[in-house]
Amino acid sequence: MDDRVVITLFRHGITEANVRRAYMGWTDSPLCPVEPVLMNLKEHDIYFSSDLPRCTATLNLVFPQAHPYLLSELREMNFGDWEGKTYEELKDEPRYQQWLTDPSMFSPPNGESYQQFSERVQAGWKKIVQMVLTQPFKRCAVMTHGGVIRYLLSEYAPESQDFWSWQVLHSQGFELAFNRNQLRRGERCTLLQVVPLTEKKLG
Q: Give the pLDDT band (50/70/90) at residue 38.
A: low
The yes-or-no verdict on residue 2 having pLDDT over 80 is: no
Tell me which DSSP letter residue 163 carries.
G
* pLDDT tens readout for residues 142-198: 999 999 999 999 999 999 999 989 999 887 899 999 999 999 999 999 999 998 876
Instruction: Select 4-75+115-196's CATH number: 3.90.198.10, 3.30.70.580, 1.20.1250.20, 3.40.50.1240.
Output: 3.40.50.1240
Using CA atoms, how far residue 110 sits from 77, 106, 107, 202, in Å, is 12, 12, 8, 31
SS3 172: strand
| pTM metric for this prediction | 0.92
Output the CA angle 46-47-50, nearest 5 degrees. 155
Q: Return the domain boundaries, the chain.
A: 4-75+115-196
Containing 184, the helix (H) or strand (E) segment is helix 180-185
Alpha-carbon distance of 134 to 156, in angstroms, equals 20
Section 49-71 average pLDDT? 94
Helices vs strands, H then E, count in the chain:
7, 6
Alpha-carbon distance of 110 to 80, in angstroms, equals 5
Could you tell me the end-to-end alpha-carbon distance of the chain, in angstroms, rounded to an integer? 40
Alpha-carbon distance of 25 to 23, in angstroms, equals 6
Q: DSSP for 64-83, please give it.
A: TT--PEEEGGGSPP--GGGT
